[in-house]
Amino acid sequence: MIYPTLTAFYAALLALLYVGLSGWVVAGRLSGDVLIGDGGEDALTRRIRAHGNFSEYVPLALVLVGLLEAHGAAPGLVRTLLVLLLLARLLHPVGMLAPKNSAQQFACRGGGIITTLLVTMAAAILLLIRA
């Protein structure tokens, strides 16, 4: 088995992004004096969901890509999947702040989650083909 060096590097970058999203939620809670929940504040709800969406989707995608890399997949393929995942996860919170039904919301939020799902699906299918 090969140590998944590329996945480890991008996992570290994604972990820093996760910490940033966590800080963003904490800052929203502090500025709105909200200790639990969202206090009925739409902006805080969006922050919480951007953070939650990240924590729901990124771990599985990283595990699948890491297994693919450890199984000997081409580094270019692995890097492409990981760069796409990182870009998707950077775009998603931008779209969460965009006005409802705006082009920015569709491009960033929609594009972010669709790309995350495509990376996850591609890694899963490629693993099944290699099995």
Our CA angle for 73, 75, 79, nearest 5°, is 110
Residue 128 CA to residue 131 CA, distance in Å, equals 5
- Read off the pLDDT of residues 34-89 as tens digits, 9 standing for 90 and up: 888 889 898 999 999 999 999 999 999 999 999 999 999 999 999 999 999 999 99
- Read off the pLDDT of residues 65-80 as tens digits, 9 standing for 90 and up: 999 999 999 999 999 9
> Whole domain around residue 37: which residue ranges?
5-130
Q: Taking the model in full, what pTM does it have?
A: 0.93
CATH code at 36? 1.20.120.550
HEC per residue, the chain: CCCCHHHHHHHHHHHHHHHHHHHHHHHHHHHHCCCCCCCCCHHHHHHHHHHHHHHHHHHHHHHHHHHHHHCCCCHHHHHHHHHHHHHHHHHHHHHHHCCCCCHHHHHHHHHHHHHHHHHHHHHHHHHHHHC
Per the structure, the count of domains in the chain is 1
Residue 49's CB is within 10 A of a number of other CB atoms, namely 17
